[in-house]
Structure 1
């Protein structure tokens, strides 16, 4: 059987004029009529580049030298920029980053959805450094380097970036990556720890609110357990162990740490577990909730449906404003904790239901209840499956929070072109500064 061979890559450096910025933060050039995506290059620049991949319809390359720089180019803050794949836009001025993301949103709405908002919302921004309170570090022992690497994946995702620090992660963790790598390298089980997740809530009662979850593929010995506990104790962190699936996660130290964050504007405290989904950017999250409610305009007499509700990040503060709120989420564990959070906050006008929103839910009691307004915060795949099931005529107003502009554009096409809604406004929110990730929000009203 003949083996498939990858197209041969020509490593000869070539000069390129950068015409545009792609959705993933690379410069776009054309070479012999073919699109080339050039990592590390910005629109308006002239660069020397080297091909890194060859495809039928486009090629990929990396910048070797900037021959003529864009006025929007800045010096990256992180010494690992260019190798680490955690963020790809540090070389672009921050104000231009959010403009580029807004253009990605508008282009997707036009190209995929064939729709345009009546108005573009002002971008939402918050702290651009030290904002990331949740994430996953890959761990790999590299014998050739005689060290253990802890960090995000490189731009080539086969490799773990050799990080000493990260300026987008909250500084309590981001400036201690080298110490974390040294800790793991000293463990007997260092070759059997593939990842460490981190999450941070609010500090309280002498506890920093920071927790690590150490995934390990073989049982840890007493010396390793003691080393992990001592590392956490010295920093007032919590450390959890994960020997198997999600259900295997358990606290090593302390026995029952309280993980929580507050939404003070609505007098809400959300309790969570260390592998639960929470929005990574605490400051932007509060601004996002406030903008969502400005667009949704919940009234004391309204019944509101919140789909893909998670722990109740929107649902619980919304219950302070609306008459009744129903939250629906696919992960049963999150639903259980959302109910606990409702009780924790003394809310009695909110219901939570577990349901796979990609499947037919038309026979479920919550689907048959009447509602006035709809809030959606779906995963990257979007909400088209559940939108096609809902009796949409009951909703005067729909607010859609999106983490993927392509799926938002597809769903907007359905709401506008098939269901008669008007796209009143849309805009971007910089949940992940210095990355190409585009978080956005849109308001639909019945035409």
Structure 2
């Protein structure tokens, strides 16, 4: 007795391939196949492109935060002086910094002066900036500033002048070597009240950190000069801490707080930007669901094409069943027809999506040129260009979703073909 053929035998693939190449008289089947193929290709392309942009946007956002800001900031709860003013400076900042450096996982500790918003002026323009006082070696350890995307000047000369963001430089029209004037409302106390303090500094360094809000509002003075200018002699406003694993900075938050002392509080970068990141995650999940629905709609076209194919091939199915083809073989033939469309469409969508993520810069430049510029506003987006970062996990997620839905929806019309009664199929032939 002849043994049953194994599943997905060569003749099943041959029959399926024959059905996929519809003749001109069966053009409707061919059209539906092409519609299904194009639909799945575009849906997978859109899904991969969205996941890549999402990953790139988060990576760019977090990278610029961590590159130009502290991972954690130690502050003092403060004390009320006899005049009723709250003093939150840290007089023992040197000893506190040493204790923080001893915490496992800490890579860098820097006392800083937070001068707040001041007015910077050139000969023709004025602009409000946030001035931070920090020692030059400490600022050199900030990759977003010292190793900025674009920079001009010499950061090692910070003690001789001021470092400003490129957005500040454009606003007030200065370059390296020019002088600008800083006006702080918290100046010298006089019998007539507090008078503004004004000083002029040479621009020694201009940086582009990659974040619009940083580049357009940030300036740095040396720590000693900031102490003198902002009346902080002998104290620091806060202590900035860098850690080995900033993505899990919460793991070292308690040890840092214990090392800082009883009157200290801690703010991590997640406390400051966590709301935006959580909103971004919610948006990502919603977009993934919406695009998954698009993939499902595209996969449903396979059902329409297979139903038409089964209807057109009713006579063939009856003959195949009559000569001994089993229900399982018929089911696999039509399953191959549907899943092959999903497989090819998914592959083409993956190629297009990966190419989009890889060449997003020239694509974005072309779109910006075609639209006459101004497509991307960094003052709203926070970053200067549309980023994309391709991850294998995102690609595999899109492939698994597309193939899973394609295989799933193919089963139902394939089962209908397999269960077709050969006698009924041949009755009117």
Normalising by structure 1, we get a TM-score of 0.20
Q: When the two structures are superposed, what TM-score results if normalisation uses the length of structure 2?
A: 0.21
Q: Which has the greater radius of gyration?
A: 2
Determine which structure has greater relative contact order: mean sequence separation of CA pairs < 8 Å that are 6+ residues apart, divided by chain length.
Answer: 2
- Higher strand residue share: 1
